[in-house]
Structure 1
């Protein structure tokens, strides 16, 4: 049975150097705000990890995510308001759903592996108390 991929430790967020930010801007090209004006100041930008860091697989040997957290090819510069909206509306709920499902999966695997050979399964429900409808007799 395959183990679920390990997630990064909670709160994992390494410092992003200015060199990485500039490389991400060069790779992705100019950034425009909602009115179509080019954003020229680095201070007006946020840098979005795609996929989010908590959705990446943790590499134990490197003590980093896979792909690495500060790889400029997986960082997209965005206007601050757009980045905050994307994070709040899409990334955080997706991360929470993934954690919830992986916890359910781990509980299921634990219940299956602790079963002994010959254990009877518990009935999932009972037969309805109302009988099936009678058919009309045809001649």
Structure 2
């Protein structure tokens, strides 16, 4: 199971992604060009890559969803493995990250107990509301 990519399906086993402050090394220009050429200058959906709008390189699956290899000090698969990086236009990358990656990473953290909340919420003590006694209605004043 060490060579598998972490998915939400295997949330029973602790995934333990990369450390919080860890960042992968920068891709070289040669690596970026190799990715764009491999994709024939198009996004996976078929849209043409537009360098004027900005081309960004997306890790798929996201780095936080990958297992951490303590010996290599890198993710499994390696963070800069070109087979797991795709070139996307900047707007497409923003949509994919917001709609797919962020919710899945948050769910994975919640399932593993790595979310920010360490202890359960406490009920705030306060005065209990008193029930009002029934008022007898008088038909008139004396």
Query: Aligning the two structures, in what range does the TM-score lie when normalised by the shorter sequence?
Result: 0.5 to 0.7
Is 1:74 aligned to 2:76, yes or no? no
Correspondence list, 1:111-130, <5 A: none
Contact 1:27–1:73 under 8 Å retained in 2: no
Who is 1:24 aligned against?
A: 35
Who is 1:45 aligned against?
A: 55
Whole-angstrom CA distance in 2 between matches of 1:11 and 1:87:
19
TM-score by length of 1: 0.63
Give the one of 15, 19, 22 matched to 1:12: 22
Correspondence list, 1:74-93, <5 A: 74-93=84-103
- Give the C-alpha shift of residue 3 in structure 1: 5.3
- Give the C-alpha shift of residue 4 in structure 1: 1.4
Contact 1:20–1:70 under 8 Å retained in 2: no
- Give the C-alpha shift of residue 62 in structure 1: 0.5
Question: Any unmatched runs of 5+ in structure 2?
Answer: 1-11, 115-142
Higher mean displacement: 9-18 or 91-100: 9-18
Superposed CA RMSD in Å reads 2.6
Who is 2:127 aligned against?
A: none
Count matched residues: 101
Contact 2:56–2:93 under 8 Å retained in 1: yes
SS at match of 1:9: coil
- Give the C-alpha shift of residue 63 in structure 1: 0.3
Specify which structure has the bigger relative contact order, considering alpha-carbon pairs within 8 angstroms and separated by 6 or more residues.
2
* Higher fraction of helix: 1
TM-score by length of 2: 0.62
Is 1:59 aligned to 2:69, yes or no? yes
